[in-house]
Amino acid sequence: MSDGAWFLLKALFLGLVEGLTEFIPVSSTAHLLLVGDWIGFSSGNDKVFEVVIQLGSILAVMWVFRERILRLVRGFFSGDPQERRFVANLAIAFLPAAVIGALGIRYVKALFHHPGVFAVTLALGGLIMLWVERRPRHARQPGDRAETEVSQHASAHALEQISWKQALAVGCAQVIAMVPGTSRSGATIIGGMLAGIDRRTATEFSFFLAMPTMLAATVYDLYRNGAALDEAQSLAIVVGFLSAFLSAMVLVRAVLAFVSRRTYRPFAWYRIGLAAVVALWVLL
């Protein structure tokens, strides 16, 4: 196999890794960078590949939630107060990371080159998840009955009832997730739960918040670094993007089904175990 074909095969594999980890609280960025390092995949110093292919996963979510998005758009332009409130909350949650990201992206990306950071953030995030899952929850959302009985309509209603203070709490949590290894989905879901949102609704809000966040990150990264990409890197991004899209399409519904019945404890223990592996790798 030629070097070019091998490079694209690695990009395909990393796209699968991205799609399978983007929407579970284990940090897709940490997995992309660690696995990429372990298999010898070099995407360049600016890590454009790792940022851009995440948009493939986001487009998969947009496809899965297309009916809800269309209803949101129609309601917003027709003056529906609940849909406009939902859009306003998404904007509130998006702004903190947008501002901090624009000002400090250079310092954030510098952390991408230090695997020891992943060991700390993975372990710390896992411990926080275990703590949050042990806390008694009194979610201030409609439908406090068993989550397994929450219908899609009821979930949508709960999304529309999130307060601006809860949205801001999720947005602040997303800022923390800029540190690699933290997990954007994990931080926003746990942040929502701490703010009083039930697990399933926090997960869905995290999905919707990922749309403007990752779209903005992709456009910004391509604007800054797109001209420096060579043909091989550009093709690798296309392959990884498509791979992430297809694998995420499979996972999104599975994640929602999982959180309707179970806690995030398995992911917490996985993070702690991976942190131990990374720590040993760094030390040895």
Summary mean pLDDT of the chain? 85
How many residues appear in the chain?
284
pLDDT digits (tens, 9 = 90+) for 21-74: 988 889 998 899 899 988 988 776 567 888 889 889 989 989 988 998 999 999
Instruction: Classify 148 in phi/psi space as left (phi over 0), alpha (psi -120 to 50) or beta.
Output: alpha
pLDDT at res. 53: 92
Look up residue 170 and give its amino acid. V
156-178 core/surface letters (b: 16 or more CB in 10 A; e: else): bbbbbbbbeebbbbbbbbbbbbb
The domain locations on the chain are 3-283
CA 230 to chain CA centroid, nearest Å: 27
- Continuous segment of H or E residues that includes residue 62: helix 54-64
Q: What is the mean pLDDT of residues 203-232?
A: 86
pTM for the model stands at 0.82
End-to-end CA distance of the chain: 31
Determine the 3-state secondary structure of 55 from DSSP.
helix
Whether the CB-CB separation of 169 and 160 falls below 8 Å is answered with no
Chain segment 186-212, per-residue pLDDT in tens? 899 999 999 999 888 998 899 899 999
